[in-house]
Chain A
Amino acid sequence: MEQQNRSEKDTLLDARGLTKRFGDILANDTVDIRLNKGEIHALLGENGAGKSTLVKMFYGSLEPDAGEIWWDGRRVDIGNPAAARDLGIGMVFQHFSLFEALTVVENIALALPKPGNMRDLAARIAEVSKDYGLPLNPADIVADLPVGIRQRIEIVRCLLQEPRLIIMDEPTSVLTPQEADQLFLTLQRLASEGCAVLYISHRLEEVQRICHHATILRHGKVVDECDPAQETAASLASKMVGAEVIAVNAAKKTEVGAERLVLKSLSAKASTPFATALTNISLELKAGEVVAIAGVAGNGQGELFDAVSGEMPVAPDMIALDGKPCGSKSVTWRRKQNAAFVPEERLGHGAVPGMKLSENIVLTRHSTGDSLVGNGFVSERQAGELEQRIKQKYDVRMSHDDPEARSLSGGNLQKFVVGRELDRRPGVLVVNQPTWGVDAGAAALIRQALIDLARSGSAVLVISQDLDEIFEIADRIAVISRGHLSDAEPAAGMTRERVGLLMAGGAEAQGEVA
C-alpha cells in the first residue's frame, strides 16, 4: 500500500487493525486509518464497503471486535457516543435527528450534556453560527426550516462542543450548490483551526475540491490511500469499484415523439403541516426524452410523485397519460396504461420490508398483465421466474435465493425496485431519486437503463437531488422549489449556477410570473 508523506506528529486519531463482524459479513477487516489535525480526510467506498461501520466505531455506537484506536497518542476505548463527545469527536448524521415541533435552541439543548440556561445557550448559538458563516435564528421552529438550515443546526450542535474531529456523512446530499459552497468554507475554516474532518461522500468532484487526503474502502478493507487532488474523478471511482466504471452513454436523443405524460396546472394542498403544497405545476413529457426535476429535498418532490403515481388523487384534468386524463384514477389504472413508478423510499413504500422479493414483485405488477394473478390466485412460480429474471438482468446481489427485501443492502434493493419496473418496458416511467445511496457501478447501470428506455420510445421523468446525475442523463431540466416548478429547459443550455438559483427560489418566482 502506498504510504503518504504525511507528518506523524500531527496525528489526531490512529486506528490500527479495526475489525468488525456482523454474522457472516466482515464489515471492517483490519482497517488502518490515520487522521491528522487540520486535515479534511475523505472516506470513500461503495455502498456496503464498511464506511458507516468504521465511523460508528469512532463515534462509540459500535464496538470493534479487534483492533485499537489511538487518540492524541493515547489508547482509548470509545464505549458510547458520550465518551466520543468527551474526547472531542462530533458527528453530523445523514439523516437528521431533530424534533420538528421544537425550536432550534430547544433541539440543541436536548443534545448537549449540560445545556445550561436557555437564554445563554441561544446567545451562544447565534454567536457561534454567525462566526462560522452558518447563521441560525435560535428561536425558529425546525419544521419551518429548509433542509440546508436543518443541517446547520446539526453542525452548530457539534461546534458548540468544541470538537477536535467532526465526522460528516454525506453532508451535501441535501444542499444546493451554493449552500454546499458555504459548507466547504466552514469546513476549511475548521481545518485551518486544527480541527480534523472525516468526510464521507459519494460526490467525487467535491472530494477532489476540498479534501487533503482520502482513504478508500472496498469490501471492508482499506484498498488505497491517495491525495484526491492528484486524481481524477474517474480514477477515484475506479479505485472504489475496483474496476473501470463505464461512463454513461447518453447517445443524444434522436427525435422526440408524442406527449406521453402531461401535467397541467397541477395543484394540491398540503395534506399535513409538514407537507408541501403543489402550486400550478405544468410539464409535458414526450416520448424519447428524459426530463429531470432538480431540487433540494422537501420542496414537494414526494407530493409531486404521489400525485403523478395516483397515490394522491387530484382533479382529473391535471394529469394525462397518453392523452387520457387520469388525475383522479388509481395507481393500478395508471399502471395498466403502461406507466410505472419508483418512489424515493425503497423500504416501506417501494417494497414491503418483511416480504420476499418474489412477493414484492406482485406488489406493483399484480394487474399489469404478467399473468402473476389468475382468478384471484397469485402464481408463485411466475413471481419466482420474474424475480430470477430481474435479479440477473439488473445484477441484484443476495446472500441466498429470494430473501426478504429488508435484508438487501440499499443499493441492491434499489437495483431490484428499479429493475422491477424497467422489466415491464413501461411507456412512462417516473422515478424519484433513482440512485440515492447507490454505489458508482450500480448507479451507472441504472442511469444507462433509464436512458435506454427513453431512447426506445418511452418518456422518463427523473426526480433527483443529485445534480451530477441530472446533467449526466437529462435532456431537459426543470427545478422544483417550494412546490413550484420552473419551465423545463434543454439541459445543454443549463448551468449548475442557473439550476442553483432556481433551487433557491427562482423556480418559485418564475411560477408566479407565469
Chain B
Amino acid sequence: MRIELVKRKEHSEVMVFLSPVIAVLLTALTAGIIFALSGLNPFEALYKFFIDPLTQTWSLEDTIAAATPLVLIACGLAVCYLSNNWNIGAEGQFVVGALFGSFLPVMLPGFESFLTLPLMLVCGMIGGALWALIPAFLKTRFNTNEILTSLMLVYVASLLLDYLVRGPWRDPDGFNFPESRIFSDAATLPSIPGTSISMATVITIGIALVLTVILTKTLKGFEIRVMGQSPRAGSFAGFSSKRLSLFAFGLSGALAGLAGIMVVSGEMNQLQPTISPGYGFTAIIVAFLGRLNPVGIIVAGFVLALSYIGGEGVQSAMGVSDKIASVIQGLLLFFVLACDTLILYRIRFSSRRAPASAEVSHV
C-alpha cells in the first residue's frame, strides 16, 4: 500500500479550519512522547502544560497578558505574509517600538499629562514602522532578501536596547542596575477598571477586528491577497508590489512597535536589557496557526501564550527544562505548515503500484 497526495480542484474550506486543530493534536502527541522519553508521566505533564493554566484565575490572566502582544504582532505579520512579504524581524520592531515609546518617560520624566500615554503609543508605532521599513526599502530598492535583512536587524535592535539601558538611559537612582527609570503613572498603561485585564488587550482586539474588515471587505485587502497569491495578476490589476511591500512592512512594524511599548508601559514600567521572551518570533507561529486571519490569530495567540505559561508550570512543578516551551512552539509551527498541505491536497491510500507522482506532477 502507498500513500498518495492528490491535488484538489479547489481548496478545502473544511481543512482550513481542521488543519490547525490536527496540528495542535499532533503537537500534544509528540510533546507527550518527549515527556515520556524524559521519564515523566506524559499525561500529567500535558495536563500541567495545556490545561492547568486555564484552571486558575491568575494564570488565566497571565495567559491573556502574554497572548496580547502575540496577537497584535501576528496581525501585522499576517498582512505581510498574505502579501508575500517575509518579515521575520518583528522581534526587533517590537524592541525599537519600545525604545521610541520610552523616550518620553525616560528622557522627559517631568512631562506628565493626559497626552503622555497616547504620544508614547504613537512614538512606539513610528519606531517599529521605521525599523521595519529598512528591510522593505532594501527589498524594493536593491532586491535584497527581506528574510535575512529583517532577521539580522533583530540583533541590532536588542544590542541597541542593551546599550541604552546600560549606558545613556540607565536610571540615575538605580544603583547601577541596567534598567531605565520607572515610568510615571501618566506613562503607565492602565488596566480596565475593576479587572486586571490590561487596556492593551482591548486595543489589540479592536485592531484585530478592524483588520478583519480591511482584509475581507476593502480594495486594500483585496490588493494584499492578490499580490500574495499571484503577483503577476496583481500588477495586471494595476497594483504596485513595491508600494505594497512598504505598506505591509510599515504596518506590521507599527503594530509590533505598539505591542512593544504597551508591554513596557503596562507590565514592566521600565526598560530592561530583555523585554521580550521572543514574542516577535512566536508571533510568526501565531500568524500561521491563526490562518493569517485576525480572528483566528486571537485564538492562536491564546494557544501559544499557554505554551509560555504552561512551560513555566511544568518547569516549576516537574523540573523540566524551560526550553520545552520553545520545542513545543517549534513542533506546532512544523505541524501547522505540514497540515496545510491538506488544504490543497487530499491523501489517498492506494494499493496499486501507480506512480505516486503521476497526477500531481502532470496536472
Question: CB within 8 Å of B: which residues of A?
Answer: 23, 56, 60-63, 79-80, 309-311, 330-332, 335, 341, 343, 345, 348-355, 359, 362-364, 366-367, 373, 376-378, 403-404, 406-407
Contacts and interface: CB of A to CB of B under 8 A. Distances in A.
B323 interface: no
B9 A363 contact: no
B354 to A, nearest CB: 4
Given A61-B362, A376-B219, A407 B10 contact: yes
B236 A79 contact: no
B233 A349 contact: yes
Most buried by B among A62, A310, A377: A377
12 contacts: A79-B355, A311-B236, A332-B237, A352-B229, A354-B229, A362-B219, A364-B236, A366-B219, A376-B218, A404-B10, A404-B11, A406-B9
B238 A378 contact: no
Given A61-B362, A80-B355, A367 B230 contact: no
Contacts of B220: 376
A343 B232 CA distance: 11
A352 B82 CA distance: 14
A403 B10 contact: yes
A94 B358 CA distance: 17
A83 to B, nearest CB: 10
A353 B225 CA distance: 12
Contacts of B355: 60-61, 79-80
Contacts of A366: 219, 222, 237-238
A353 B230 contact: yes
Nearest to A335: B238
Given A311-B235, A331-B236, A348-B233, A63 B352 contact: yes
A63 B357 CA distance: 12
A345 to B, nearest CB: 8
A60 B361 CA distance: 13
Contacts of B232: 345, 348-349
Contacts of A373: 219
A23 B233 contact: no
Interface of B: 9-11, 217-220, 222, 225-226, 229-230, 232-233, 235-238, 352-355, 358-359, 361-362
- B interface, over-half SS: helix
A492 B191 CA distance: 82
A376 B210 CA distance: 14
Q: Interface of chain A, helix or strand or loop or mixed?
A: loop
B236 A343 contact: yes
Contact of B9 (A311, A332, A407): A407
Given A311-B236, A364-B237, A366-B237, A378 B10 contact: no
Contacts of B358: 56, 61-63, 80
B348 to A, nearest CB: 11
Contacts of A376: 218-220
Contacts of A359: 222
Given A62-B359, A348-B233, 13 more contacts: A23-B9, A61-B361, A62-B354, A332-B237, A354-B229, A363-B237, A364-B237, A366-B222, A366-B238, A373-B219, A403-B10, A404-B11, A406-B9
Contacts of B11: 354, 404
A106 B264 CA distance: 61
A351 B230 CA distance: 8
B256 to A, nearest CB: 25
Contact of B238 (A332, A349, A377): A332
A62 B236 contact: no
A330 B93 CA distance: 33
A364 to B, nearest CB: 6
Nearest to A333: B238
A63 B220 CA distance: 45
Contact of B219 (A348, A351, A352, A377): A377
Contacts of A352: 226, 229-230, 233
Contact of A363 (B226, B354, B359): B226
Nearest to A349: B232
A341 to B, nearest CB: 8
Contacts of A345: 232
B90 to A, nearest CB: 26
Nearest to B237: A363
A94 B61 CA distance: 62
Contact of B354 (A79, A367, A377, A407): A79
Nearest to B221: A378
Contacts of A332: 237-238
A362 B361 CA distance: 31
Given A23-B9, A359-B222, A56 B362 contact: yes
B10 A406 contact: yes
A61 B222 CA distance: 38
A310 B230 CA distance: 18
B10 A330 contact: no
A363 B236 contact: yes
A362 B222 contact: yes
Contact of A348 (B230, B238, B359, B362): B230
A351 B233 contact: yes
In order of increasing CB-CB distance, the 7 nearest A-B pairs are A332-B238, A63-B354, A407-B9, A352-B230, A80-B355, A331-B238, A404-B10
A215 B9 CA distance: 29
Nearest to B231: A348
A376 B215 CA distance: 11
Contacts of A407: 9-10
Nearest to A367: B238
Nearest to A376: B218
Interface centre among A310, A354, A367 (most CB of B within 10 A): A354
